[in-house]
């Protein structure tokens, strides 16, 4: 009934560059691909540790995604919600830059992630934490 805020979810994704874009898969989806060992070596692994979402954190995330239109009406901004969710729940990761230095977790670095990688991190987190599409819409 109560979430232990000290618990961490391990999120693993696999990704590779394709031209200027990236293709990314959750560990579960990656293991379903019919890839040879050689093809699998083309992918890099990213391991992330993410906080478990509590009721209070969920409410804070929802509130932080509220915006006002020109007429003063409050509206939910799903883009902002996803950006805030990734930043708030991502506790650590083993991401490295091109010089093999650790990449810090902050709004600046997260905004530079390839969309496919950010989406797969969040989708994998939701799958592992049991958050359904219906719950995400509420």
Residue 22: predicted pLDDT: 96
Helix, strand or coil, per DSSP, at residue 77: coil
Residue 128: predicted pLDDT: 93
Give the phi and the psi of residue 85 in degrees, each rounded to 5.
Answer: -65, -45
Q: Where are the alpha helices (DSSP H) in the chain?
A: 27-32, 37-40, 55-64, 78-89, 107-111, 115-129, 133-137
In order along its 138 residues, the chain shows pLDDT tens digits of 898 888 999 999 999 999 999 999 999 999 999 999 999 999 999 999 999 999 999 999 999 999 999 999 999 999 999 999 999 999 999 999 989 999 999 999 999 999 999 999 999 999 998 855 555 555
Residue 134: predicted pLDDT: 54
Domain ranges of the chain: 8-137
Longest dimension (CA), the chain: 57
- Beta strands 44-51 and 66-68, pairing class: unpaired
- Beta strands 44-51 and 90-93, pairing class: antiparallel
Instruction: Report the Cα 130 to chain-centroid distance in Å.
Output: 14
Alpha-carbon span 14 to 23, nearest angstrom: 8
* 54, 56, 57, 63 alpha-carbon torsion, rounded to 10°: 140
Residue 107: predicted pLDDT: 92
């Amino acid at each position: 009934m109560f979430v232990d805020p000290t618990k961490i979810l391990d999120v693993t994704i696999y990704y590779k560059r394709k031209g200027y874009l990236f293709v990314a898969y959750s560990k579960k989806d990656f293991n379903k691909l019919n890839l040879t060992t050689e093809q699998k070596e083309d992918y890099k692994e990213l391991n992330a540790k993410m906080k478990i979402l509590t009721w209070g954190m969920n409410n804070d995330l929802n509130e932080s995604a509220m915006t006002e239109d020109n007429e003063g009406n409050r509206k939910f901004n799903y883009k902002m919600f996803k950006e805030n969710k990734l930043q708030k729940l991502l506790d650590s990761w083993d991401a490295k830059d091109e010089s093999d230095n650790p990449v810090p977790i902050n709004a600046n670095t997260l905004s530079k992630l390839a969309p496919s990688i950010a989406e797969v991190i969040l989708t994998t987190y939701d799958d592992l934490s049991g958050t359904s599409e219906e719950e995400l819409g509420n």
